[in-house]
Structure 1
Amino acid sequence: MVTGYYTAAQIRDAEAATGDLLSGGVLMARAANAVAAQVSAELRERTGGVYGRRVLLVVGAGNNGGDALYAGVRLRRRGVRVDALLLDPDHAHGAGLAAFRSAGGRVSATVPDGLDIAVDAVVGLGGRGPLRPPAAEVFARIADTGAAVLSVDLPSGVDPDTGVVNTPSVRADVCVTFGAPRLAHLLAAPACGRVVVADIGIPVPAAQVTSPSDAEVAALWPLPGPGDDKYSQGVVGVIAGSAVFPGAAVLATSAAVAATSGMTRYVGPAVDEVLAKSPEVVAASTVADAGRVQAWAIGPGIGTGEQAHDLLADVLGTDLPTLVDADGLTVLARAPELLADRTAPTLLTPHAGEFARLAGAEPGPDRLSAVRGLAERLGVTVLLKGRITLVADPDGRVSGNDAESSWAATAGAGDVLTGIAGSLLAAGLPARSAGVCAARVHARAAALASGGAPISAAALRDAVAPTLRRLLDLRE
């Protein structure tokens, strides 16, 4: 199923809508139960038990600290030795602190020896900016102990809406959040660790930012049916490569062949190289001679001169879905009028440098706002590449993919993504779905090819088919 991600304001509004559940402390009690349950689960997994283990609550002001203090009460009842380090004693949650002390919890000014888990309850959802020096010193000492860190809601020092990871900030092994994930759980996924969402009974609206599960990607992936032929499954035309960069054409076309069961056509000067790798590709020297296609993928290695401009103008002048990448984006940055009056699905796939050429500025730390802004301004779908890939439609809806590794950061990997996403456009997937599904398979293929070591783009490409076989096992 799709996971939705929410702003801090949306979560606060959802909590306020519960009325007495919020004002009467029911939501806090449920949150505390969830934190205590997850701490117990982590202790069992990491140490083999719960009783007698040592937990430190690092408590800031407000309700985030209250969640942790009440969780400490529940952990004390299970025989856990629980200390609370109060960063702002005068503003700690009063009722929670009293209950904690009554349960035998100990207030400490230092990080204890023999620590198993530290609970980060410094700022949570309302936090902005880096950790203050006292908190930073505490977490530096915790890091020296080797104890795991569980953050309540979000790692302190991580912005909830932009995902900016400030310096210093907490890096969590696991986050326990309530009701629904926050934007930062996607945008700053490496800092958040594993995210556990506890249902505490708050209603959330339909999400504008989502990420598909592997099962949903599998369900969306086009497969041949009894009535299909090579044309009905989608024909993608790839315009890529040059005499100088024939490899871009080889990678893009062979990735397209691996991704779907339709047909791949190729236009460009690297015909011999393309056919040597993928003899099933149908090659032509010009767009006019290419034959029927359902979508175009253009850009990798085509150059940035007048000929490339003319090719891009020809393709964007059609009413066919089109993906533009690499050199095509550089050309488009100089000639954005090529997108004027275009109504067919259009997917741009820039990395940060190409994004800057298109937008006139780097994406910056707020990548979500940046990609939304460019998609709205150009009236097309924009896929901003990165460890967290974001795919934005002009209406503000965004799909994200956490690659969970950076093995795809290798020369030519973008050409592979072009082929995969282009083939999905040809099969009829909407641009945003094609982009995020391609990004997921691309990331999974990189991880499979790597096995923990650096890889080439060719190795990534070769892992697309086995990755799809694994993924499609999830299809119902």
Structure 2
Amino acid sequence: MPVHYVSADAVRDAEHAAGDLLVNGTLMARASAGAAHAVSVHLSRTGGCYGRRVGLVIGAGDNGGDALYAGAILARRGVSCSAVLLAPDKAHAGGLAAFRRSGGRVVAELPSDLDVVIDGVVGIGGHGPLRPNAAAVFGALVPSDAGGPTVVAVDLPSGVDADTGEVHEPSVHADITVTFGVRRHAHLLAAPRCGRVELIDIGIATPEVDPSLLALTDTEVASLWPLPGPDDDKYTQGVVGVIAGSAKYPGAAILASGAAVAATSGMTRYVGTAAADVVGQWPEVVAAPSIEDAGRVQAWVVGPGMGVDDDALHRLRQILATDLPVLVDADGLTLLARHPDLATDRGAPTLLTPHAGEFARLAGAEVGADRLAAVRELATQWGVTVLLKGRITLIADPDGGVLGNDAGSSWAATAGAGDVLSGIAGALLAAGLTPQLAGAAAARVHAQAAELASRGAPIGASNLLAAVRPTIRELLS
């Protein structure tokens, strides 16, 4: 099953659907127990619970209540717990009473030498940045990677919008986020701020929302990957055509063609003036001087490094006039921004793969803080699948459904990496995957290949490409 992310309203609906479990406090008790357990496990891994020091930053409402009840549980386990109440008159009464009964202390400021700080300021109902008193508390903390306390957020890091993932400043930067029942949009969209997300089952049903925000697991990506069967040949496995680069600038052609070769066992054809360089690097690629001479192709990749002159526009028109799946990237997107009818009038599967700047040219506006809404809107308006690149890649289909992928790092943010992604996704299109699944599976492998190639050091696109096949092998093992 894919990982499911839902809106704040969907979470509220699911909690209210739980009926008595919400009214009688059972959901809060389960949530606080889960949060306490997550903190206890972390402390146990780093020296045990007894005598350790935990600070709580408490706002008004139920999020603060969850944190206070969690603090009460930790205090009963021998943890020294101190809480700063940002709004003393609005603190959750039951949680505060339980915290005090268990030996927790209310303080004016957090002690030094804390092992963990729990963020219980605001939950999914929060909007905007931290208020000054909360910002002062978190601003005084030494970051965990510099020897400071581990920050554990309850539900969401405060200052992060639950639905859009917008990270306001100032906001909390969590090392661990403990959430309940189902993941929120922000757990994917703002993954770098959430740290490791731990999901606690509190007995609410997973909301069914449409359109959905989902993320494929490694197991699902592996199940989608095209592998040769006993009766397959190079044609039945998918033939991808690549139009990229030039004799003067062959790099994009080499990278995109090489990625297509690495991704599947079918055939890669190349059309363009960089043929000698491409075949010199990848002798299995079949090169042709023109589209008419290319032969049988089942999907096209067009755009990386091909230029934006009249000849490039003519080739883009030719490809988009076919009834084949087409991936458009880079220079092809610049041309599409000037001639959107070439894509919007298509009936065949179309995948656009813009970065933020290219997206702005296509949409006529910046992506903005709500990347999820922006990518959905462009996909729906143009009637195509749109893959918006970034640390968090979003792939929206024309019906509004979105698949997301958290790369886990930004090692792939290097020149030419997009050409590699195009080649992988194009090969998957040729093998028969839908544009959305091709884009999501390619993004997953692309991110993991960057991580494998890097191992903590900067990489170039050639390093990333070299790691594509080992990444696929590991995924399938």
Q: Hey, what does 1:52 align to over in structure 2?
A: 51
Alignment partner of 1:300 is 2:316? no
Aligned to 1:167: 169
Of the three residues 259, 266, 274, the one matched with 2:263 is 259
Q: Aligned partners of 2:140 and 2:360: how far apart in 1?
A: 40
Of 401, 405, 412, the match for 2:409: 405
Q: Distance in 2 between matches of 1:409 and 1:393?
A: 24
- Paired residues of 1:111 and 1:141 also in contact (CA < 8 A): no
Q: Is the 8 A contact 1:218 1:471 kept in 2?
A: yes
**1:153 corresponds to:** 155
In 2, Cα distance between equivalents of 1:467 and 1:255: 12
Deviation at 1:114, TM superposition (A): 2.4
- 2:179 aligned to 177, 180, 195, which one? 177
Q: Which residue of 1 aligns with 2:30?
A: 30
Kindly indicate whether residue 64 of structure 2 is the aligned counterpart of residue 65 of structure 1: yes
- 1:461 is aligned to 465
**In the alignment, residue 408 of structure 2 is paired with which amino acid?**
E
Contiguous gaps of at least 5 residues in structure 1: none
The alpha-carbon deviation at position 85 of structure 1 amounts to 0.9
Unmatched tracts of structure 2, length 5 or more: none
Matches within 5 A, 1:283-298: 283-298=287-302
Matched, 1:373 2:372: no
Query: Is 2:281 the partner of 1:277?
Result: yes
| Residue of structure 1 equivalent to 2:226 | 222
What SS does the aligned partner of 1:124 have?
A: coil
The equivalent position to 1:341 in structure 2, one of 345, 363, 369, is 345
State how far apart, in whole Å, the 1-side matches of 2:125 and 2:201 are. Answer: 20
Q: Is the 8 A contact 1:58 1:84 kept in 2?
A: yes
Query: Structure 2: how far apart are the matches of 1:24 and 1:325?
Result: 54
Q: What corresponds to 2:16 in structure 1?
A: 16
Partner of residue 140, structure 1: 139
CA contact (8 A) 2:56 2:117 kept: yes
Is the contact made by 1:73 and 1:105 (CA closer than 8 Å) also made in structure 2? yes
Structure 2: how far apart are the matches of 1:326 and 1:245? Answer: 14
Q: Is the 8 A contact 2:83 2:110 kept in 1?
A: no
Where does structure 1 differ by over 3 angstroms across 4 or more consecutive aligned residues? Answer: none
Quick one: distance in 2 between partners of 1:168 and 1:403?
24
Paired residue type of 1:188: A
The 10-residue stretch of structure 1 (419-428 or 101-110) with the greater mean CA deviation from structure 2: 101-110
Q: Partners of 1:196 and 1:305 in 2: how far apart?
A: 51
What is the distance in 2 between the residues matched to 1:139 and 1:340?
Answer: 48
3-state SS, counterpart of residue 70 of structure 2 = helix
Q: How far, CA to CA, are the matches of 1:369 and 1:245 in structure 2?
A: 36
Q: Which moved more, 1:206-215 or 1:120-129?
A: 206-215
Task: Give the AA of the match of 1:129.
Answer: G
- AA matched with 2:246: S
Task: Output one character per residue of 1:137-194: Cα deviation in whole Å (capped at 9) or x when no partner.
Answer: 1112233670000000000000111111111000000000000111000000000000
State the SS of the aligned residue for 1:302.
Answer: coil
Which digits, 9 at most, give the CA deviation of each residue in 1:436-472, with x for residues without a partner? 1101111111111111111111111111011111111
- 1:198 correspondence with 2:196: no
Kindly indicate whether the alpha-carbon contact (under 8 Å) linking 1:323 and 1:348 is maintained by their aligned counterparts in 2. yes
User: Is the CA contact (8 Å cut-off) linking 1:118 and 1:142 kept in structure 2?
Assistant: no
| 1:231 matches 2:230 | no
- Name the structure 2 match of 1:419: 423
Query: Do the aligned partners of 2:11 and 2:207 also contact (CA within 8 Å) in 1?
Result: no
The two structures have a TM-score, normalised by structure 1, of 0.98
In 2: Cα distance, 1:409 partner to 1:18 partner: 44
Q: Percent of aligned positions with the same letter in both sequences?
A: 66
Matched position secondary structure for 2:82 = strand
Tell whether the 8 Å contact from 1:171 to 1:191 is kept in structure 2 after alignment: yes
TM-score (norm 2): 0.98
For 1:164 and 1:340, the matched residues in 2 are separated by 30
Query: Structure 1, residues 339-388: CA drift from partner, whole Å, max 9, x if none?
Result: 24312110000011111110111111111111111101100000000011
For each residue in 1:399-436, what CA deviation from the matched residue of structure 2 results, as whole angstroms up to 9, or x when unmatched?
01111111111111111111000000000011111001
CA–CA distance in structure 1, aligned partners of residues 344 and 37 of structure 2:
55
May I ask how many residue pairs the two structures share in their alignment? 472
Structure 2 Cα separation of the partners of residues 332 and 309 of structure 1: 9
1:43 equivalent in alignment to 2:43: yes
RMSD: 1.0
Give, in angstroms, the shift of residue 52 of structure 1. Answer: 1.0
Helix, strand or coil for the counterpart of 1:143?
Answer: coil
